[in-house]
Structure 1
């Protein structure tokens, strides 16, 4: 069924964007700690 394939692709894109957001927030957190100690 083509509809199922389409929803799988959309779900994968959503998962990917959440991972990207999580990695950005982790980088932000690391940057704050590094600046705090320097």
Structure 2
């Protein structure tokens, strides 16, 4: 899974933030499904 990185490294930071948000979102969805 390659993460694009530009000269300032903003892209990689944005990708990491997006991944974290998606993980948290899917985790909350799973909790909603369980309960």
TM-score (normalizing by structure 1): 0.71
RMSD: 0.4
Larger RCO (CA under 8 A, 6+ residues apart): 2
Specify every segment of 5 or more residues in structure 2 that has no aligned partner in the other structure, as ranges.
1-5
Larger Rg: 1
Specify every segment of 5 or more residues in structure 1 that has no aligned partner in the other structure, as ranges.
29-38
Aligned residues: 28
Deviant stretches of 4+, over 4 Å = none
